[in-house]
Structure 1
Amino acid sequence: MIADRPTTADRIRQVGVTVSEVACVFGTLVGTGVIGTRVAESSGGSLSAEATHLAPAGPAFSIWSVIYLGLLAYTVWQWLPSQATSPRHRAIGWLVAASMLLNAAWLLVTQVNLIAVSVGVIIALLAVLVATNGRLLRHAPSGTADAVITDGTLGLYLGWVTVATCANVAAALGAHGWRPTGLLADVLAVAVLAVAALVGVGLARWARGGAGPGRWGIALALAWGLAWIAVGRTASDPHSLPAAIAAGLGALVVLGSTWAVGRGVDRHPDGLRPDGRKGAPVTSRP
């Protein structure tokens, strides 16, 4: 049951999320070149759209605008009186704050050419987002607005960072002199893209008991990233038809599996889960 009045811990958490949002905005201003160097131009160009076989084409990064707006909306949302003592915000608030701080940290370390450090930061960010979305699966949204703002935003965040992690690792390897070419480069790219698609399938099944916006947020962001990798490998260097085909097919597999999982959930409206067990995966409601 939700407490009538926010506790001191609730207020501290709300302030912590807000301060982290401010830090995230600062990092964004640095990363977009407003008060720093654009990410694509930092770290000696290792993170540009033409750096590796796994680099998405430039327009792919516009998804950050949606994610950042969603994080801003979440920051405001968690301050509303109806949300202040919500069990789900108590469960995820500090994790969301940590994700925003890690986001800012990633942008800052790439500014000073610490590309190897950026890999550690983005892996930590990915782990935090997995934990955050996992907690959302255990706490149902209070309504449509909560599902869209909270689950939708954090789903997009997780899906995109999954793709970005692959690209970041490839960029770091390239920056440190490991740049496979020819057939080897194609084979490795296809293998990584296949794994990314399988991860997308796994995430769809994992998130099947959660809110639709969260499940689809993960899938759409992951498919978006894969699709723009396909575009990048056909429209600019390094050209790779095998990588482009693998990325395009991967995007379709992720979307198709998410749709199939959604249909399975819809067919069990009486609390019977898709795996045949009774009881909804979500165990708590605010």
Structure 2
Amino acid sequence: MNAGAPMEAIAAPADATASWVERYAPLAARPYLRLARADRPIGAWLLLIPCLWSVALAARMQGGWSPYAFALLVLFAIGAMAMRGAGCTWNDILDRDIDGLVERTRLRPIPSGQVGVRGAFLFLVAQAVIGLVVLAFLPPFAILVALSSLGVVAIYPLMKRIIWTPQIVLGLAFSWGALMGFAALLQDLPSAALLLYAGSILWVVGYDTIYAHQDREDDAIVGVKSSARLFAEATPGWMVAIYAIAVVLMGGALHAAGAGIAGWIGLALFAGHLAWQIVRLDIDDPALCLVLFRSNRDAGLILFAGLALDAALA
């Protein structure tokens, strides 16, 4: 923290909203909770949702819900919160110089001096330990699949400096949960898992492109690449193609898993929500872009509800 500045005087980042962190958390804990994005749970939701999909589809393939399948929902929720926080911490450590130059992120804990790099590393380790505890409850094959994601997670923050579509790498990382339900319940990765993973990757590319339009001008100034800058005014057309292919791939996953009518209704409603996002999208309205980005939690939960009901009916 900057010398002489009381902790209360340091504002939350511009992209944060009033939350339980600001209302109830001890002052000393607030910068670390912001570092883990505990004040913005949307990221944890979006990391968790592919896990939920995969558990429901894998349960369908097993013939219905089991006590272990329900337990996996809880384990994956804990793991998603811990690993999302760890990923954000790692991202902020690597991006601390860039974040200081972007209006939306300049007051994040590290560039604003609220948390030092050493403290951030220790916090990262603590969150990773929680993730490892969750892994201990999974079968060996699922543990191996989970650990295989670490390379992608580690390199993602660097991709915005290298390629124009870092959202693809984010999709590879954030969609890993689409494999985990199958790995834990079936101890296998059937075609349904791979199709669901591919569809989820494109879903992530789509919603993070919407999110990236908030920073398009600042990203151009500091030289950060993104699909928002690449697609620019053509973004709505690209979104149609990206979301459409995502839905087709997810439909392939449902077909491969033998999904019933409830699952297909869930997918249809999910597709309708994505179409609504494209119709509403205005890339020059940052506030609307944030609203549409966050609405993907609802889209994902709608699909999960259909898949969960379908597994129950099995």
Question: TM exceeds 0.5?
Answer: no
TM-score w.r.t. length of structure 2 = 0.37
Relative to the length of structure 1, the TM-score reads 0.40
